[in-house]
Amino acid sequence: MPRLLVVHHTPSPATRALLEEVLAGAQHPDLGGAVDVVASPALSTGAADVLAADGYLLGTPANFGYMSGALKHFFDTVYYPCLDAVAGRPYGLWVHGNDDVTGAVRAVTSLAGGLGWRPVAAPLEVTGPVDADVRQACRDLGGTLAATVAG
């Protein structure tokens, strides 16, 4: 069964809400359970997890104009061990910040591009409160990634 790895750092209520919505979309009943969706905190996700997955969904807050230290640690841990083995795999990204997420999005997309991952949706950039439209966008992102991984 194809596996979607959801790597996240969700320390705040807003980022936790985004994670829950992304997971709901990735596990939507219309997908018929065709994908094994594995949610894994960034600080405990390693190369074996990345190598075992067929696609990736990344979530982080924007901290001081950059991705979270936890997601940076994830990339530091998996980059070289996975570099040649994961090119071409699909990925998606969501980032939450209070006012600006540009730097965080740029950093994550740069590292994902270095790994050869291919984006299957535009990064979901969320600033401010999590409303119904944002929740729907998260479900859509999760569903898009799961459907892509399912083939």
Q: Give the model's pLDDT for residue 27.
A: 96
Per-residue model confidence as pLDDT tens for the chain (151 residues) = 999 999 999 999 999 999 999 999 999 999 888 999 999 999 999 999 999 999 999 999 998 889 999 999 999 999 999 999 999 999 999 999 998 999 999 999 999 999 999 999 999 999 999 999 999 999 999 999 999 999 8
User: Is residue 82 within 8 Å of 31, Cβ to Cβ?
Assistant: no
Q: What is the model's pLDDT at position 79?
A: 97
Query: Whole-angstrom Cα distance, residue 54 to residue 43?
Result: 20
Q: Residue 7 carries which DSSP code?
A: E
Question: What is the token pair recorded at 146?
Answer: 């799961």
Query: Where do the domains of the chain lie, and which CATH numbers do they carry?
Result: 3-150 (3.40.50.360)
For residue 111, the number of C-alpha atoms closer than 13 Å in the C-beta half-sphere is 22
Could you give the CA distance from residue 143 to residue 31 in angstroms, rounded to a whole number? 8
pLDDT at 3: 98
pTM for the full predicted model: 0.96
